Structure 1
Amino acid sequence: MKTDSRIVVTADGSHSLFNEQAGQHYHSIFGARQESERVFMELGLQEAFDRFTETPLRVFEMGFGTGLNAVMTAQEAENRQRPVLYTTVEAFPIPLDEAYQLNFDEVLGTRYTYALHEAPWQIPTVINPYFTLTKQERQLQTFSTDGAFHVVYYDAFAPEAQPELWTADLFQHVAGMMVSNGILTTYCSKGYVQRNLKAAGFRVEKHPGPARKREILRAVKI
C-alpha cells in the first residue's frame, strides 16, 4: 500500500492523514488526539502502568503511522517517570516531509514528533530519559520478539481496508508476544473482531469510545 496522503485537521484541532489508496484516515476525523487519548492512553498505557509494577514497561504498536500514539506515550512516560521500551512495526512509513507538517508537538506541548520520525529503523533510539523507541519497517506477520509486551496498541487500518490484519490467526500471533494479563486496545469493535480476539485467547471488554464512537475494545490475554 502506498503512502500518498494528505493532511486533515480533525475536530479537536489535531492532525490526521488521509491515505488515498486505502481510502482511510489514520485517526478519527472527530478528534485524533481525543481518540488516541481514550483508546490507547487511558485503556491501554495507564491501565498497564497500574497493573504492571516491573520496569521497563514494554509497549508494542501495530502501525506506527503518524507517530501520534508514540508521541503521547513518550509524554506520559516522562510525566510519570516510568521507563517505557516502545516497539512498533510499519510496513508503509509516511515520508518525512509529511511528518514535518504534523502539529502534534504544537497541540500536545511536546518536542517528539520529528525525533520519532527521524529515528533510524531497527535501532533502539532514546527519545527522552524514560522512552526508547525501536521501529521495525516490516509487516506484523513477519515480526517476532524474544521479549514479551505488557500492552499492545492495535492501530491498523480498518478491516474494510486490511482484513488480513484482523484475523484470529494474527491475533494469536500477537498474543504469543504478550505477557499473561497483557492488554490489547483497539478502536475497532466489530462483532467478528471480538470473536477473533476471543478465539485467539483474549478476554474482551467493551468500553465507551471517544467522540462519535459508541464502543471500543480492551482485550486481556488470558
Structure 2
Amino acid sequence: MQSKIEIIKTEDGSHSLYIPDMKETYHSTHGALRESEYVFIKNGLDLIKTSNEINILEVGFGTGLNTFLTFLESEKKALKIYYQTIEPYPLEENIFSALNYPDIIAPDKSRYFYDFHKAPFGEKVQFSEEFVFQKHFQKLEDLQLKPELIDLVYFDAFAPSKQPELWELGNFEKIFKWMKSEGVIVSYCASGQFKRNLKSAGFFVETLPGPPGKKEMTRGGK
C-alpha cells in the first residue's frame, strides 16, 4: 500500500505508525494506547450487555492494538467473544514485531499479540476458551456478513480525508444490516458528514467527549 512506514512514539509512551506518503498516523499522537482504551473499550465493549457471545467487527486491524486489548478484556472478565477484523494491507513482520504494545500492556501475554498478526486469513482461530479470532483479507466494500450478526463495530479506518471510500453511506447501510438490535458502532472520528451518514443509515448518533488531545468522538446505536 505504502512505500514506507515509520514507527513513532506517542505521548503516553506507546507506539504508532506514520505513513509519510499519506501524512497519516495509525493512532493518535496524543497517546495510541489511551485512545484505543477510551474509544473502543470504555465507550464500546464495556457497554455491551449480553450473556451470550459478543460478536465484534473491527474496521481495520492495523497494528493489532484494538484486538490485543479486547482479547485481554475477554480474559479478565471471562467474556466470550467472536472477533472479526478486516485488513487488506497487513503489516510486515519487521514492523509489527517492533511495536511496544505487548511490553507495556501485558508482557506475559505478548505471544498472543504476534499470533494475531500471523493468523491465517479467512480462518477462525480459537485463541482461548473465550476468544475466537478471524481476519479477512478484504476491503469493507467487498465484505459480506449475515444480517443481524454483529453486537459491536470498532470503526478505526484512516481519516475520511485519507480514505474517503470507507466512510461512504453505503458502507454504513451494510453495517446497519449486519448489526443486531441495540448493536453499537464506535469511532474516534467526529466529522459532521460521518455522523450524517450514520443517521441516514438508521443509527441513533451520540457525540461524546474525545480521548486526550481530541475534543469529540462518535458512538452510534441500532
Same-fold status (TM-score > 0.5): yes
- Provide the residue aligned with 1:180 in structure 2: 181
Counting only pairs closer than 5 Å after superposition, residues 194-205 of structure 1 correspond to structure 2 as 194-205=195-206
The equivalent residue for 1:19 is 19
- Tell me how far apart the structure 2 counterparts of residues 185 and 3 of structure 1 sit (CA, whole Å): 30
Are positions 1:80 and 2:87 aligned together? no
Q: TM-score, normalised by structure 2?
A: 0.95
Which residue in the other structure is 1:95 paired with? 92
What is the CA deviation profile of residues 82-139 of structure 1, one whole-angstrom value per residue up to 9, with x for unaligned ones? Answer: 1101000011111111110011111111322111101111111122222111000110
What amino acid does structure 2 have at the position aligned with 1:213? Answer: K
Residue-by-residue CA offset, 1:147-181 (whole Å, 9 max, x unaligned): 61100000000001011111111111111111011
Partner Cα separation in structure 1 for residue 4 and residue 126 of structure 2: 29
* Amino acid of the structure 1 residue aligned with 2:137: E
Any idea what SS the aligned residue of 1:70 has?
helix
Pick which of 122-131 and 147-156 moved more: 122-131
Change (3 A) 1:188 1:60: same
3-state SS, counterpart of residue 29 of structure 1: coil
Q: How does 1:181-220 map to 2 (within 5 A)?
A: 181-220=182-221
- SS of equivalent residue, structure 1 residue 176: helix
Cα pair distance change 1:129/1:165, threshold 3 Å: same
Kindly provide the amino acid, as one letter, of the partner of residue 98 in structure 1. Answer: I
Count of residues in Structure 1 that have an aligned counterpart in Structure 2: 218
Deviation at 1:70, TM superposition (A): 0.1
Supply the distance in 2 between the matched residues of 1:78 and 1:135 (Cα, whole angstroms).
20
Give the aligned partner of residue 114 of structure 1: 114
| Separation in structure 2 between the aligned mates of residue 123 and residue 29 of structure 1, nearest angstrom | 33
* C-alpha contact (below 8 Å) 1:78/1:129 kept by paired residues: no
Q: Distance in 2 between matches of 1:193 and 1:16?
A: 24
Segments of structure 2 that go 5 or more residues without pairing to the other structure are: none
Structure 1's unaligned 5+ residue stretches are: none
Structure 1 vs Structure 2 CA RMSD: 1.2
In structure 2, give the amino acid aligned to 1:65. G
1:139 is aligned to 139
* Aligned residue type for 2:193: Y
Q: Percent identity?
A: 37
Matches within 5 A, 1:161-172: 161-172=162-173
2:47 counterpart residue number: 47
